[in-house]
Amino acid sequence: MKQSQAYKDFKERTQEIFNFAVLVTLSVPVLKQNLKLFNDKKIKRLPDPDYFEPSVVYEISEETISTLTEKGLSADKIEKLKLLLNIPINSSEFKSKVIEAIGETDYKSNRNEIKRQSKNYSENITNCTKNYQSKLATYLYFSTFSYFEAFIIDIAIELTNNIQSVDREKYLIDFQPNQNTISDIAKLDIEFDPRRIDRYKKFSKKLKNQSYINSEKLLLSSLLDIYNNRIENLKANEIPTFLEKTLLFKMTKTESDTFHYIRDNRNKIGHGEKHFCPNLNDVINANKFFKLLSDKIDKHVTLYFFNIKNYIDE
Protein backbone atom coordinates (compact mmCIF):
# COMPACT_ATOMS: atom_id res chain seq x y z
CA MET A 1 0.00 0.00 0.00
CA LYS A 2 1.19 3.51 -0.77
CA GLN A 3 2.41 5.84 1.95
CA SER A 4 1.64 9.52 2.29
CA GLN A 5 4.43 12.02 1.84
CA ALA A 6 3.62 13.29 5.33
CA TYR A 7 4.39 9.85 6.77
CA LYS A 8 7.63 9.54 4.79
CA ASP A 9 8.71 12.97 6.06
CA PHE A 10 7.80 12.02 9.63
CA LYS A 11 9.93 8.86 9.48
CA GLU A 12 12.83 10.81 7.99
CA ARG A 13 12.67 13.52 10.66
CA THR A 14 12.53 11.05 13.55
CA GLN A 15 15.39 9.04 12.08
CA GLU A 16 17.45 12.22 11.82
CA ILE A 17 17.07 13.09 15.50
CA PHE A 18 18.03 9.56 16.55
CA ASN A 19 21.05 9.69 14.24
CA PHE A 20 21.94 12.93 16.00
CA ALA A 21 21.47 11.25 19.39
CA VAL A 22 23.88 8.48 18.37
CA LEU A 23 26.38 11.11 17.21
CA VAL A 24 26.18 13.00 20.53
CA THR A 25 26.42 9.90 22.72
CA LEU A 26 29.49 8.84 20.74
CA SER A 27 31.12 12.29 20.59
CA VAL A 28 30.86 13.23 24.28
CA PRO A 29 32.87 10.22 25.55
CA VAL A 30 35.56 11.00 22.94
CA LEU A 31 35.54 14.63 24.05
CA LYS A 32 35.88 13.62 27.70
CA GLN A 33 38.83 11.46 26.80
CA ASN A 34 40.48 14.38 25.01
CA LEU A 35 39.77 16.68 27.95
CA LYS A 36 41.59 14.28 30.25
CA LEU A 37 44.55 14.09 27.87
CA PHE A 38 44.61 17.88 27.63
CA ASN A 39 44.47 18.36 31.41
CA ASP A 40 47.23 15.77 31.83
CA LYS A 41 49.25 17.75 29.21
CA LYS A 42 49.48 14.72 26.93
CA ILE A 43 47.97 16.75 24.06
CA LYS A 44 48.48 20.47 23.46
CA ARG A 45 45.02 21.47 22.31
CA LEU A 46 41.44 20.42 21.90
CA PRO A 47 39.76 20.57 18.47
CA ASP A 48 38.06 23.92 17.87
CA PRO A 49 34.27 23.73 17.47
CA ASP A 50 32.99 23.88 13.90
CA TYR A 51 30.78 26.88 14.56
CA PHE A 52 31.19 28.38 18.04
CA GLU A 53 34.88 29.16 17.61
CA PRO A 54 34.59 32.49 19.53
CA SER A 55 33.78 30.45 22.66
CA VAL A 56 37.36 29.13 22.73
CA VAL A 57 39.54 30.71 25.44
CA TYR A 58 43.33 30.96 25.19
CA GLU A 59 46.11 31.98 27.57
CA ILE A 60 49.86 32.49 27.71
CA SER A 61 51.33 29.84 30.03
CA GLU A 62 54.75 29.36 31.66
CA GLU A 63 55.39 26.64 29.10
CA THR A 64 54.69 29.10 26.28
CA ILE A 65 57.18 31.58 27.76
CA SER A 66 59.86 28.88 28.14
CA THR A 67 59.38 27.61 24.59
CA LEU A 68 59.54 31.07 23.03
CA THR A 69 62.61 31.94 25.10
CA GLU A 70 64.34 28.80 23.83
CA LYS A 71 63.38 29.72 20.27
CA GLY A 72 65.14 33.06 20.66
CA LEU A 73 62.29 35.55 21.03
CA SER A 74 63.81 38.82 22.25
CA ALA A 75 63.84 39.52 25.99
CA ASP A 76 61.79 42.72 25.70
CA LYS A 77 59.05 40.88 23.85
CA ILE A 78 59.15 38.06 26.38
CA GLU A 79 58.62 40.62 29.16
CA LYS A 80 55.65 42.13 27.34
CA LEU A 81 54.23 38.67 26.79
CA LYS A 82 54.55 37.89 30.51
CA LEU A 83 51.98 40.63 31.16
CA LEU A 84 49.43 38.22 29.63
CA LEU A 85 50.64 35.23 31.67
CA ASN A 86 47.83 32.93 32.90
CA ILE A 87 45.10 35.39 31.88
CA PRO A 88 42.24 33.67 30.01
CA ILE A 89 41.48 35.64 26.82
CA ASN A 90 38.68 34.85 24.37
CA SER A 91 39.59 34.12 20.77
CA SER A 92 38.37 37.45 19.38
CA GLU A 93 40.88 39.37 21.55
CA PHE A 94 43.76 36.94 21.94
CA LYS A 95 45.43 37.48 18.56
CA SER A 96 45.37 41.29 18.77
CA LYS A 97 46.77 41.33 22.33
CA VAL A 98 49.64 39.00 21.44
CA ILE A 99 50.48 40.96 18.27
CA GLU A 100 50.48 44.13 20.34
CA ALA A 101 53.08 42.51 22.63
CA ILE A 102 55.43 40.81 20.12
CA GLY A 103 54.43 42.01 16.65
CA GLU A 104 52.62 40.24 13.82
CA THR A 105 55.73 38.61 12.30
CA ASP A 106 56.71 36.82 15.51
CA TYR A 107 53.09 35.90 16.17
CA LYS A 108 52.77 34.21 12.76
CA SER A 109 56.12 32.45 13.15
CA ASN A 110 55.21 31.03 16.56
CA ARG A 111 51.44 30.80 16.30
CA ASN A 112 51.25 27.06 17.04
CA GLU A 113 53.20 27.51 20.27
CA ILE A 114 51.42 30.71 21.29
CA LYS A 115 47.81 29.78 20.59
CA ARG A 116 47.18 27.37 23.46
CA GLN A 117 43.78 26.85 24.99
CA SER A 118 43.43 27.77 28.63
CA LYS A 119 42.52 25.52 31.51
CA ASN A 120 39.39 27.65 31.92
CA TYR A 121 38.29 26.56 28.45
CA SER A 122 38.77 22.92 29.38
CA GLU A 123 36.74 23.45 32.55
CA ASN A 124 33.97 25.19 30.59
CA ILE A 125 33.72 22.28 28.17
CA THR A 126 33.77 19.78 31.04
CA ASN A 127 30.84 21.60 32.65
CA CYS A 128 28.95 21.39 29.33
CA THR A 129 29.24 17.60 29.37
CA LYS A 130 27.60 17.24 32.79
CA ASN A 131 24.17 15.55 32.63
CA TYR A 132 24.34 15.76 28.85
CA GLN A 133 22.22 12.61 28.42
CA SER A 134 19.39 14.15 30.43
CA LYS A 135 19.55 17.36 28.38
CA LEU A 136 19.69 15.40 25.14
CA ALA A 137 16.71 13.29 26.21
CA THR A 138 14.71 16.43 27.00
CA TYR A 139 15.31 17.93 23.54
CA LEU A 140 14.57 14.63 21.80
CA TYR A 141 11.37 14.00 23.79
CA PHE A 142 10.08 17.46 22.88
CA SER A 143 10.98 16.94 19.20
CA THR A 144 9.43 13.48 19.02
CA PHE A 145 5.99 14.78 19.98
CA SER A 146 6.32 17.89 17.81
CA TYR A 147 7.19 15.79 14.75
CA PHE A 148 4.11 13.62 15.31
CA GLU A 149 1.98 16.74 15.67
CA ALA A 150 3.42 18.04 12.39
CA PHE A 151 2.68 14.68 10.74
CA ILE A 152 -1.02 14.95 11.59
CA ILE A 153 -1.22 18.46 10.15
CA ASP A 154 0.77 17.50 7.05
CA ILE A 155 -1.29 14.43 6.20
CA ALA A 156 -4.52 16.37 6.74
CA ILE A 157 -3.32 19.00 4.28
CA GLU A 158 -1.96 16.44 1.84
CA LEU A 159 -5.27 14.66 1.36
CA THR A 160 -6.95 17.87 0.14
CA ASN A 161 -4.08 19.14 -2.02
CA ASN A 162 -5.43 17.46 -5.15
CA ILE A 163 -8.99 18.68 -4.67
CA GLN A 164 -9.61 21.62 -6.94
CA SER A 165 -11.28 24.39 -5.03
CA VAL A 166 -13.59 26.97 -6.57
CA ASP A 167 -12.81 30.66 -6.29
CA ARG A 168 -16.23 31.49 -4.92
CA GLU A 169 -15.92 35.27 -5.09
CA LYS A 170 -14.77 35.09 -8.72
CA TYR A 171 -17.62 32.68 -9.48
CA LEU A 172 -20.22 35.18 -8.27
CA ILE A 173 -18.71 37.72 -10.65
CA ASP A 174 -18.38 35.36 -13.63
CA PHE A 175 -21.81 33.76 -13.33
CA GLN A 176 -24.35 36.53 -13.92
CA PRO A 177 -27.61 34.80 -14.90
CA ASN A 178 -29.98 36.65 -17.21
CA GLN A 179 -33.59 35.85 -17.92
CA ASN A 180 -32.66 33.16 -20.44
CA THR A 181 -30.33 31.53 -17.95
CA ILE A 182 -33.04 31.45 -15.29
CA SER A 183 -35.35 29.92 -17.86
CA ASP A 184 -32.76 27.21 -18.64
CA ILE A 185 -32.41 26.45 -14.94
CA ALA A 186 -36.19 26.12 -14.63
CA LYS A 187 -36.21 23.61 -17.48
CA LEU A 188 -33.71 21.46 -15.62
CA ASP A 189 -34.98 21.87 -12.09
CA ILE A 190 -37.98 19.54 -12.44
CA GLU A 191 -38.76 15.95 -11.60
CA PHE A 192 -36.50 13.58 -13.52
CA ASP A 193 -37.97 12.06 -16.67
CA PRO A 194 -35.72 9.50 -18.42
CA ARG A 195 -37.34 10.38 -21.77
CA ARG A 196 -35.88 13.90 -21.52
CA ILE A 197 -32.24 12.95 -20.92
CA ASP A 198 -31.01 14.60 -24.13
CA ARG A 199 -32.88 17.79 -23.20
CA TYR A 200 -31.19 17.77 -19.78
CA LYS A 201 -27.76 17.39 -21.43
CA LYS A 202 -28.49 20.25 -23.83
CA PHE A 203 -29.44 22.78 -21.16
CA SER A 204 -26.73 21.56 -18.77
CA LYS A 205 -24.14 22.30 -21.46
CA LYS A 206 -25.61 25.77 -21.97
CA LEU A 207 -25.27 26.51 -18.24
CA LYS A 208 -21.66 25.27 -18.15
CA ASN A 209 -20.83 27.56 -21.07
CA GLN A 210 -22.13 30.42 -18.95
CA SER A 211 -19.69 29.49 -16.12
CA TYR A 212 -22.29 27.72 -14.00
CA ILE A 213 -20.79 25.47 -11.29
CA ASN A 214 -22.61 22.62 -9.63
CA SER A 215 -23.74 23.61 -6.12
CA GLU A 216 -21.99 20.58 -4.61
CA LYS A 217 -18.62 21.85 -5.84
CA LEU A 218 -19.40 25.30 -4.52
CA LEU A 219 -20.33 23.94 -1.11
CA LEU A 220 -17.30 21.64 -1.10
CA SER A 221 -15.04 24.65 -1.63
CA SER A 222 -16.59 26.37 1.37
CA LEU A 223 -16.16 23.25 3.48
CA LEU A 224 -12.54 22.94 2.35
CA ASP A 225 -11.84 26.45 3.61
CA ILE A 226 -13.42 25.54 6.96
CA TYR A 227 -11.40 22.31 7.03
CA ASN A 228 -8.11 24.07 6.20
CA ASN A 229 -8.76 26.72 8.83
CA ARG A 230 -9.41 23.93 11.34
CA ILE A 231 -6.07 22.34 10.51
CA GLU A 232 -4.16 25.62 10.77
CA ASN A 233 -5.59 26.21 14.24
CA LEU A 234 -5.51 22.61 15.44
CA LYS A 235 -4.25 22.28 19.03
CA ALA A 236 -2.32 19.24 20.18
CA ASN A 237 -4.96 18.17 22.69
CA GLU A 238 -7.57 18.19 19.88
CA ILE A 239 -5.71 15.68 17.68
CA PRO A 240 -7.56 12.51 18.85
CA THR A 241 -10.96 14.19 18.36
CA PHE A 242 -9.92 15.61 14.97
CA LEU A 243 -8.79 12.18 13.82
CA GLU A 244 -12.03 10.57 14.96
CA LYS A 245 -14.56 13.18 13.83
CA THR A 246 -12.87 14.29 10.60
CA LEU A 247 -10.76 11.36 9.39
CA LEU A 248 -12.79 8.59 11.08
CA PHE A 249 -9.72 7.19 12.87
CA LYS A 250 -10.45 6.32 16.49
CA MET A 251 -7.58 5.79 18.91
CA THR A 252 -7.92 3.01 21.47
CA LYS A 253 -8.21 4.13 25.07
CA THR A 254 -4.61 3.03 25.69
CA GLU A 255 -3.41 5.01 22.66
CA SER A 256 -5.38 8.08 23.73
CA ASP A 257 -4.09 7.88 27.32
CA THR A 258 -0.49 7.45 26.15
CA PHE A 259 -0.82 10.30 23.66
CA HIS A 260 -2.10 12.71 26.32
CA TYR A 261 0.55 11.52 28.81
CA ILE A 262 3.34 12.34 26.35
CA ARG A 263 1.61 15.60 25.39
CA ASP A 264 1.41 16.69 29.04
CA ASN A 265 5.09 15.92 29.51
CA ARG A 266 5.98 17.81 26.34
CA ASN A 267 4.07 20.82 27.66
CA LYS A 268 5.96 20.66 30.97
CA ILE A 269 9.25 20.73 29.05
CA GLY A 270 8.02 23.59 26.85
CA HIS A 271 6.99 25.64 29.89
CA GLY A 272 10.34 25.09 31.60
CA GLU A 273 8.94 22.98 34.42
CA LYS A 274 11.30 20.61 36.24
CA HIS A 275 8.68 18.07 37.29
CA PHE A 276 9.42 15.84 34.32
CA CYS A 277 13.00 14.96 33.39
CA PRO A 278 13.01 12.28 30.67
CA ASN A 279 15.85 9.87 30.08
CA LEU A 280 16.81 8.30 26.77
CA ASN A 281 14.65 5.23 27.46
CA ASP A 282 11.63 7.54 27.79
CA VAL A 283 12.49 8.97 24.38
CA ILE A 284 12.83 5.51 22.82
CA ASN A 285 9.47 4.42 24.25
CA ALA A 286 7.74 7.59 23.04
CA ASN A 287 9.24 7.12 19.60
CA LYS A 288 8.05 3.49 19.44
CA PHE A 289 4.54 4.60 20.36
CA PHE A 290 4.39 7.33 17.70
CA LYS A 291 6.01 5.08 15.12
CA LEU A 292 3.25 2.47 15.51
CA LEU A 293 0.44 5.03 15.80
CA SER A 294 1.55 7.07 12.78
CA ASP A 295 1.76 3.89 10.70
CA LYS A 296 -1.85 2.99 11.60
CA ILE A 297 -3.06 6.52 10.84
CA ASP A 298 -1.23 6.62 7.52
CA LYS A 299 -2.66 3.26 6.40
CA HIS A 300 -6.17 4.38 7.39
CA VAL A 301 -6.04 7.80 5.72
CA THR A 302 -4.43 6.63 2.48
CA LEU A 303 -6.94 3.78 2.17
CA TYR A 304 -10.13 5.71 2.88
CA PHE A 305 -9.35 9.30 1.87
CA PHE A 306 -6.65 9.39 -0.80
CA ASN A 307 -7.81 9.28 -4.40
CA ILE A 308 -7.12 6.13 -6.42
CA LYS A 309 -5.34 7.44 -9.51
CA ASN A 310 -7.20 5.57 -12.22
CA TYR A 311 -10.54 4.99 -10.51
CA ILE A 312 -13.48 6.07 -12.69
CA ASP A 313 -16.72 6.94 -10.98
CA GLU A 314 -19.41 6.35 -13.57
For 191-220, the DSSP string reads ---GGGHHHHHHHHHHHHHTT---HHHHHH
Buried b (16+ CB within 10 A) or exposed e, 300-310: ebbeebeeeee
Question: Residues 6 or more apart from 4 whose CB is under 8 A from it?
Answer: 154, 155, 158, 159, 298, 301, 302, 306
Q: What is the pLDDT of residues 6-15, one digit of tens each?
A: 999 999 999 9
How does DSSP assign 227-287, residue by residue? HHHHHHT--GGGHHHHHHHHH-----HHHHHHHHHHHHHHHHHHTT-SS----HHHHHHHH
**Confidence band, pLDDT 50/70/90 cuts, at residue 311:** low
From 101, 129, 157, give the residue that closes a domain.
129
Q: What is the pLDDT of residues 206-262, one digit of tens each?
A: 888 887 877 778 888 888 888 988 998 999 999 999 999 999 999 999 999 999 999
Shared-domain flag, residues 108 and 179 = no
User: Does 311 map to a domain?
Assistant: no
pTM equals 0.79
**Confidence band, pLDDT 50/70/90 cuts, at residue 286:** very high
Shared-domain flag, residues 104 and 200 = no
Q: What is the pLDDT of residues 21-76, one digit of tens each?
A: 999 999 999 999 999 999 998 988 888 888 777 678 999 999 899 999 999 999 99
**Mean pLDDT along residues 100-111:** 93
314/312 Cα distance (integer angstroms): 6
Q: What percent of the chain has pLDDT over 70?
A: 97
From 129, 159, 193, give the residue that closes a domain.
129
Shared-domain flag, residues 60 and 136 = no
From 96, 112, 129, give the residue that closes a domain.
129
User: Does 45 map to a domain?
Assistant: yes
Cβ atoms of residues 145 and 268 within 8 Å = no
Q: What is the pLDDT of residues 145-196, one digit of tens each?
A: 999 999 999 999 998 887 777 777 787 777 787 888 888 778 887 888 888 8
Shared-domain flag, residues 144 and 266 = yes
Shared-domain flag, residues 154 and 290 = yes
Shared-domain flag, residues 193 and 282 = yes
Shared-domain flag, residues 72 and 157 = no
User: Does 309 map to a domain?
Assistant: no
Shared-domain flag, residues 151 and 92 = no
Domain that holds residue 191: 132-304
Shared-domain flag, residues 189 and 293 = yes
Question: Residues 6 or more apart from 153 whose CB is under 8 A from it?
Answer: 231, 234
Q: What is the pLDDT of residues 136-157, one digit of tens each?
A: 999 999 999 999 999 999 999 9
Shared-domain flag, residues 268 and 163 = yes
